[in-house]
Structure 1
Amino acid sequence: MFAPATYAARRAALAQKVGSGLVLLLGNADSPMNYADNIYHFRQDSSFLYFFGLDMPNLAALIDIDADRATLFGDDGGLDSIIWTGPLPTLAEQAEAVAVADTRSHAQLAEQLAEAARSGRQIHYLAPYRAEQRIWLAERLDQTLAAIDAGASTELTRAVIDLRAVKSSDEIAQMENALEIAYRMHVLAMGSARPGVREQEIVGLMEGLATSQGRALAYPIIFSRDGHILHNHGHAHTLKAGDLVVNDAGAESPLHYASDITRTIPVGGRFNPQQRIVYQAVLDSQLAAIAAMKPGVPYREVHDLAARVLVEGVAELALFKGRAEDVVNGGAYALLFPHGLGHHIGLDVHDMEGLGENEVGYGDGITRSTDFGRRSLRLGRPLREGWVVTVEPGAYFIPALIDRWAAEQRHAHLINYAAFDACRDFAGIRIEDDVLITADGARVLGKPIPKTIAEVEALASA
């Protein structure tokens, strides 16, 4: 954990932003895989971690803003639990570690919430994303599930987003710690993706590396020669020379900060001429986007810049007609690049999106587009110093999408469908890094992970 004073300062800042009332933060409970005693690996709620830092199940906390008091709720285990789990810190010991003086039982939390509801005090809570939390809140506050969903506090949500979005130097150190593991995972994959090797074998190597360091994955690994399937979690293929493999893999730090990195690997050690053109275009797109990032620049504009550079970079393949600016402004570019440029990253790999994508990524005069492609951009608002965002342009040839748009003759004056059809077996390419917004620009976090054509080919052919 961070120093106790860190959590006290975060709670004080939260109370100041929310203003008055009670703030309820629920930690997560163990989640059964198939029966009560066989559980998934525990992962604490990220907002609970941010303000209370305790990585144990069955905890909750209440911040009484008006009384300037934080209380930790839980129950100490008895002899039966010690037999199965070994001795655990007491509730009081856990509270002391995060600068909380007041501890009470779970039963007392229910009583306190009931009393607050009877007296008309405002109870601020975040939108619950687990069914058991929704049910628990509905029972304690005597409301329907629909009312619980509708009653999530706007003031608390905005305050949490504002605070969690700006990363401290200690948080950046945690993210770079996670990136050190990601570096090793990706270098291992580049040297292992050879003809005749099954995708699952390489996924196992990466997962094993993370596990050997006591780390959890930040998200399920995407490692596939079917890179045009954006979130493909199948690993059944045997690699062959000439394949392109998209490897989207990251690990967590000891305090659960995420890394999120994507590289694309040429199986056999060399990109063919067509692959080389597209790969360099994606890389140039990413580098141009990073160079343009600084406080005050709307990320939506950076997305459009990345799309223009990508379209210009594939000009030799004659995929589009006319000026790159027209292709991007008209939305035709999304046939090649159908997702957003990136998102916040921190304690969650898609940081805070459990609080609502639009609440996290939009506002400040920026509204979410309904256009295909741009509507998948999770972050559009102006960048701020201290934010960490992913930058992950890609180029994909998705046969079903090509066929649908060609049948509709969508953007026919801007798209050369014959050229796209000739590339329908290409699959996809994506390159992604985690980028800190600094006072006057941006910095890619972590040790540089090979991504130039020369660097990737050298590792893939070694």
Structure 2
Amino acid sequence: MFDKATYVNRRAKLKELVKSGIIILFGNNESPCNFPANGYYPFRQDSSFLYYFGLNRDGLVGVIDIDNDIETLVGNDIDIEDIVWYGSVNSVHDMAESVGVKNTAPMKSLKTICNDAMRQKRHIHFLPPYRHDIKIQIFDLLGVHPVQQKESASMDLIKAVVKMRSTKEAQEIEELERASVIGYKMHTTAMRLTKPGLTEKYVAGHVDGTANSYGAMVSFPTIFSQHGEIMHGSPSMAELESGRLVLCDCGGETINNYCSDHTRTFPVNGKFTQRQLEIYSIVEACHDHALDVAKPGVKYMDVHFSVCRLMTDRLKELGLMKGDTEEAVAAGAHAMFLPHGLGHMMGMDVHDMESLDQINVGFDEETRPRLDQFGTNCLRMGRRLEEGFVVTDEPGIYFIPALIDDWKASEHCAEFLNFDKIEAYKDFGGIRIEDDILITKDGCRFLGEHRIPYHPKDVEEFMAQNK
């Protein structure tokens, strides 16, 4: 938690932006694994509830009555049976006081609050729910069927939350720096452990344990796989093989629930082959190029396509692509190798505010993504950068056998792709390099005091010295 004034000021700004009506911000509930008493999935509070109320307990709802300037924390105090098993926690009243909320109410009163507002035909603002228990709760409270709740969510509230959470406060940047430290520890743990004969799951388990021991939890399920061509390849029981590359995409959350997100690709045996270096050097150059061009006022969509042109030029040098670079990128030929966007917003969520719909978070009227073009339709961030934004920089090159076969059979972008040469890379896998960057007054910088090794010589040296 930050200090009380942080949450008081945030709620005041939210009321100013939304202007009128009642705002209901739902916190999350516990979620059991496979039967009610079998522990729980790790509890994770809703990020927007955390942002405005700062309270990390289940079963809470924040109500902000803008018109009457009344804020209420709704929730039930835990009973003696829960205290016996889980220990004491602060009362709802004490939690409310800690974040500057004067009023509390039991959960049963939320129905009365909603009924009164609907009877008075007041606008009730809520965010698009993503958990089924909250969808049922909204149905019970407001009579809005779950299939209609996304379209019924308040666009005024969504826009206000996106506006506020997009630009990070100084104390948030400090938390993100701490998250990057956890990310450094996670990735260097993977590099130290990786060697032929161990399983992907063994290394990934240690990576997850590192996040748990230094912070709240992993910021997303760890990706650790020799099949780097699979964007979100889960760790398997496959043994690590000498001569192959392994892709590690992971991050951690601080105790205050701010995230990191880094990716590194490195050789299982600690030494890149020449063929691997040829592709790796292109991704490395694209990764560093983003740092040169990302700054306030620049559309991140333009940064993405600048990276795509550089990638196309370099792939042409290897004979994998051909033709005019501008025409190739306009046709989406580069998406054979890079089928995703350069990055996404990051903060309390690793894909920050994605539950509010990526169109609302990463784009505006001048940067709507082309949903009809493969690759371009996967951009998560295109809007103009502003000082205080935090975005990921994650170019990659992937050789996806099924995609190669599909495009070759249909001759898609055949004027820009040398399929015969691409065929020889079907066993290659994929490479991605990712870091988190803060947009500054004049440009951008990496988050995190220490760089996770990513230049080839640094990777090889680190792995050689830390076995």
Tell me the TM-score normalised to structure 1 length. Answer: 0.98
Write out per-residue CA displacement over residues 198-251 of structure 1, whole angstroms, 9 at most, x where no aligned residue. 111111111122222243000110000000011111322211111111100100
Is 1:27–1:58's contact at 8 Å kept on the other side of the alignment? yes
Between the aligned partners of 1:360 and 1:145, the Cα distance in structure 2 is: 22
- Partner of residue 461 from structure 1, selected from 449, 457, 464: 464
State the partner residue of 1:78.
79
Using the TM superposition, give the Cα deviation of residue 87 of structure 1 relative to its aligned residue in structure 2, in angstroms. Answer: 1.0
Is 1:265–1:460's contact at 8 Å kept on the other side of the alignment? no
Provide structure 2 residue ranges, at least 5 long, that are not aligned to the other structure. Answer: none
Using the TM superposition, give the Cα deviation of residue 8 of structure 1 relative to its aligned residue in structure 2, in angstroms. Answer: 0.6
Write out per-residue CA displacement over residues 366-401 of structure 1, whole angstroms, 9 at most, x where no aligned residue. 111121111101111111111100010000000000
Write out per-residue CA displacement over residues 342-377 of structure 1, whole angstroms, 9 at most, x where no aligned residue. 000101000000010111111141111121111101
Amino acid at match of 1:9: N
Between the aligned partners of 2:146 and 2:425, the Cα distance in structure 1 is: 49
State the partner residue of 1:432.
434
State the partner residue of 1:145.
146
State the partner residue of 1:407.
409
Is 2:215–2:253's contact at 8 Å kept on the other side of the alignment? no
Amino acid at match of 1:449: I
Is 1:73–1:106's contact at 8 Å kept on the other side of the alignment? yes
Aligned residues: 462
Write out per-residue CA displacement over residues 432-459 of structure 1, whole angstroms, 9 at most, x where no aligned residue. 0001111111111002111101111112
Q: Which runs of 4+ in 1 moved over 6 A?
A: none
Between the aligned partners of 2:149 and 2:380, the Cα distance in structure 1 is: 25
Between the aligned partners of 2:188 and 2:247, the Cα distance in structure 1 is: 13
Between the aligned partners of 2:150 and 2:205, the Cα distance in structure 1 is: 39
Mapping of residues 123-134 of structure 1, within 5 Å: 123-134=124-135
Is 2:215–2:254's contact at 8 Å kept on the other side of the alignment? no
The percentage of counterpart residues that share the same residue type is 43
Q: What value does the CA root-mean-square deviation take over the aligned residues?
A: 1.1
Mapping of residues 348-363 of structure 1, within 5 Å: 348-363=349-364
The answer to whether 1:236 aligns with 2:253 is: no
Matched residue of 1:31: which SS? Answer: coil
Between the aligned partners of 2:184 and 2:281, the Cα distance in structure 1 is: 21
Is 1:364–1:382's contact at 8 Å kept on the other side of the alignment? no
Is 1:342–1:379's contact at 8 Å kept on the other side of the alignment? yes
Between the aligned partners of 1:456 and 1:61, the Cα distance in structure 2 is: 47
Is 1:334–1:373's contact at 8 Å kept on the other side of the alignment? yes
Matched residue of 1:461: which SS? Answer: helix
The answer to whether 1:96 aligns with 2:97 is: yes
Amino acid at match of 1:451: Y
Between the aligned partners of 1:275 and 1:146, the Cα distance in structure 2 is: 47
State the partner residue of 1:33.
33
Between the aligned partners of 1:214 and 1:331, the Cα distance in structure 2 is: 40
State the partner residue of 1:420.
422
Between the aligned partners of 1:393 and 1:144, the Cα distance in structure 2 is: 40
Between the aligned partners of 1:122 and 1:58, the Cα distance in structure 2 is: 24
Using the TM superposition, give the Cα deviation of residue 37 of structure 1 relative to its aligned residue in structure 2, in angstroms. Answer: 2.1
Between the aligned partners of 1:80 and 1:191, the Cα distance in structure 2 is: 45
Is 1:62–1:71's contact at 8 Å kept on the other side of the alignment? yes
The answer to whether 1:262 aligns with 2:227 is: no
State the partner residue of 1:18.
18
